[in-house]
Amino acid sequence: MVFDAVVRPLIDSSGSKLVRRARGGLLAPCSSSAFKAVARKCFFLRCCAAAKYRGNEWDSDMSVNASAWSRRTLISGFFVNAAAVSATRGQALIRSDGPPPLRTIGSQFIELRPLINVALIDLERIDGKRVSLNQFRGKVILVNFWATWCAPCRRELPLLDRLVRTVSGGSLEIIAVSIDQAGRQAVDPFFRRLNITALRPFLDPSGRIAKKIGEDSPAPFTLWGMPISYIIDWQGRLAGYITGEVDWTSNSARSLLDYYAAS
């Protein structure tokens, strides 16, 4: 069929460039050359779709029909494609207004929307005392969930320890929560072996703070992977998370943390 050979590829190549959401629903300005190119393509596609194909000839009434609705086609085609241009520019603007990207080999930072206030919870320190998460209000909080049996965690924790040394007393609070069921008995010797001295460990052996995927629990955090790090903005809202080990001393990681500190 000529439709499959000629028309469908053009529709597919044009449709693949469309995006579904334009910021504010407004049309972006379009140059005259862009308008002509868009108009020609839309006109041609409409003509092809409307034409009847007989053997190796186009229907002779196509030229008459085309002249009757060509002006309307040009106008409608312009507005459809101008909206696509606006959507593309709007998406770029949304990305530029959002947090800077943070990617690893196997993961990337996932921004959460809408922003939801984190429930007021108590964190259990390694010495058994409880600390309210609310006492860190006004700071950006990086909450990292890890375990002694997690190999990527063993590589990431020293980087978090190094980060603590560089931001001590600043606008960032780093909370490393172990989910080991053995609690302090597992964490103490583990930290000594890794020579981690600046990073303060917290304990969640019973899953009171973080729950497994699909688990019916009121815990405010979900363990989508191990390790997993959540960012809470300075207003106490859950901003997003990233799974897997991250070099938190890298420029991209610091840019992400600085973004939420300045938001």
Q: How do the domains of the chain map onto residue ranges?
A: 2-96, 110-262
Grouping H, G, I as helix, E, B as strand and the rest as coil, residue 198 is coil
* pLDDT over threshold 50, residue 231: yes
C-beta of residue 34 within 8 angstroms of C-beta of residue 85: yes
C-beta of residue 38 within 8 angstroms of C-beta of residue 77: yes
Q: The domain 110-262 belongs to what CATH superfamily? A: Glutaredoxin (3.40.30.10)
* pLDDT over threshold 90, residue 7: no
CA atoms within 13 A on the CB side of 72: 7
How far is it, in rounded angstroms, from Cα 86 to Cα 58? 36
Q: Which of 65-69, 145-149, 185-189, 250-254 has the lowest mean pLDDT?
A: 65-69
Confidence band (pLDDT; 50, 70, 90) for 235?
A: very high
* pLDDT over threshold 90, residue 190: yes
Residue 110 has φ and ψ, to the nearest 5°, of: -105, 115
**Mean pLDDT across 143-152:** 98
pLDDT at residue number 239 = 96
Identify which has the larger pLDDT, 65 or 93.
65
